[in-house]
Amino acid sequence: MLGTRKLGRRESDSLLSLRFTLPIIIESVFGIFIGLIISGIISGISPSAMAAIGMSNTVMTVIFAFFSIVIGSAAVIVSRHIGAGEGKEAGEVISQTILISVVFSLIITVLSIVFSTPLFRLLMPTAEDVLFNESVRYFRILMLSMPFHVLFSAMTPIFRAMGNSQVSFTVVVILYICLLFSSWFFIDVLHLEEIGAGLAYIFCRVVGVICCFVVLLRDHRFFTLHIRDMLRFRKDICGRIFRLGVPMSLESIIVQFGYMLANSMAISLGTFESGVYQIINTLNSFAGLAQGICSAIGTAVIGQLLGAGKPDRARRIGRGIWAAGIAATAALCGILILAGKPLSALYSTDPATIEASAGLLWVLLVMDIAGVSINAIDPQLKAGGDATFVMIVTVSAVWLIRLPLTWLFCFRLNMGVLGIYIANAISLYFRAIVGFIRHCGKKWYVKKI
């Protein structure tokens, strides 16, 4: 029988120990560098491959944002239950999360593949035929991995919510090694080009899901999972997941939809501008490394502390996560700016594209300081049950600030790619400032979830 003991001081301290945080940091660093290597492999497919795969990945990310309904809310609810010592309830939430993820991802996958051509025609009305065809072919193959992607993304935050980041780290490392090997094999050996890139993601995500399932079914420290529980619909538990998850999902959809429109605008500026945009976005994965780390640590740590009834400690530790994220981001952006030309040359052989990309990398410093603040503070607000507030701020920033300014800067003031990033930076600072002010108060952690 699982007990209901509260999280002790020593246990809560262990959540911030190197044993917990180091695997998350290494996992993120490893993932970024594998992603950069794979982007280099993809860039050798064709001159338009980076833009085609970048657009397809953005569309998939928007579709994937719908699953924040279960992914984000499940991690928060599970961390709160574990922090309160409620193992049985945590196991029930995980079982329903897996059931919902499987059912909805299969439906969305079929619909996305069937309507892929009209969807991309709508998003890329002026794209060249080669770019358009590459995008559609890659997207169709990539979407076959969606059910596995959703399941994997739903389960890995659960390990962190349990305070066991080592399992998540091990599984992610296995996944990335599989991705690197399969990308090389399908693209460079079998010469399957953009289709091979999609097949690589299918293979690695299948491996990742198998590993996660094995670990979850065998780990009985906090809860016990049974296959039969994953096949039985529980209206009450699903209601809790959706109540917290709908605001999270809407926020994620709106943000990713903004990125998709920005990609569409970049492509409409021409092949050269879209190429520069994709290179900068690829390098931004390195500059924004601290964002994912702060988000993962914040959700697990703050969720457990709030579940254990320690709001003051949660807020104090949350501020420390925020400050560390800003310092790390400033350092990473500085490195990127100093090494701009050789890094840009990894993804293009055109001197003009390399020069333009390296010359614009300074905008990442401006943009990512706000970005890391959002990724440090917003997950803490959500862990406190304040997801609706975060959603409202995000909707306002994207629709009232970012998109209108992007259109103004790009197509009225002819600022090109720079206009896309400046508009994004302004909206990000609005979100960061409002979120930090909210974090200074007490309303965000007194909500019931």
CA pair distance 78, 94, nearest whole angstrom = 7
pLDDT at 226: 75
- Give residue 19's pLDDT: 67
C-alpha 117/C-alpha 249 separation (Å) is: 25
Residue 293, CA distances (Å) to 252, 308, 318 in order: 18, 23, 13
- In this structure, the number of other CB atoms found within 10 A of the CB of residue 412 comes to 9
pLDDT at 426: 96
**What is the full per-residue pLDDT of the chain (449 aa) written as tens digits?**
344 444 444 444 445 555 667 777 777 777 777 776 776 676 666 666 767 777 777 788 878 878 877 777 787 888 788 777 777 888 888 888 889 889 989 999 999 999 989 988 887 777 778 878 888 888 888 889 889 988 888 888 777 777 677 777 788 888 888 888 888 888 888 888 778 888 888 898 899 889 888 888 877 677 677 777 788 888 888 888 888 778 877 777 777 777 777 767 777 777 788 778 878 888 888 888 889 888 888 887 888 788 778 888 888 889 999 999 999 999 999 999 999 899 888 878 888 889 999 998 999 999 999 999 999 999 999 888 888 899 899 889 988 998 899 889 988 898 888 898 999 999 999 999 999 999 998 888 876 66
What are residue 192's phi and psi, to 5 degrees? -90, 0
The residues, any chain, with a CB within 8 Å of residue 8's CB and separated by 6 or more, are none
Residue with tokens 């999972």: 225
pLDDT of residue 7: 47
- What is each CA distance from 134 to 25, 53, 128, 187, 192, in whole angstroms? 34, 8, 10, 14, 12
How far, in Å, CA of 315 to CA of 445, rounded? Answer: 9
| CA-based nearest residue to 416, from 277, 261, 288 | 277
The angle at the Cα of 433, spanning 430 to 438, to the nearest 5 degrees, equals 120
Is the pTM of the predicted complex or chain greater than 0.75?
A: no
Q: Virtual CA dihedral for 35, 41, 44, 45, nearest 10 degrees?
A: -90
C-alpha distances (whole Å) from 231 to each of 36, 99, 109, 223, 445 are 39, 6, 20, 17, 33
Give the distance from CA 21 to its chain's centroid: 18
350: left (phi over 0), alpha (psi -120 to 50) or beta: beta
The domain locations on the chain are 9-442
Cβ atoms < 10 Å from Cβ of 242: 14
CA pair distance 326, 370, nearest whole angstrom: 8
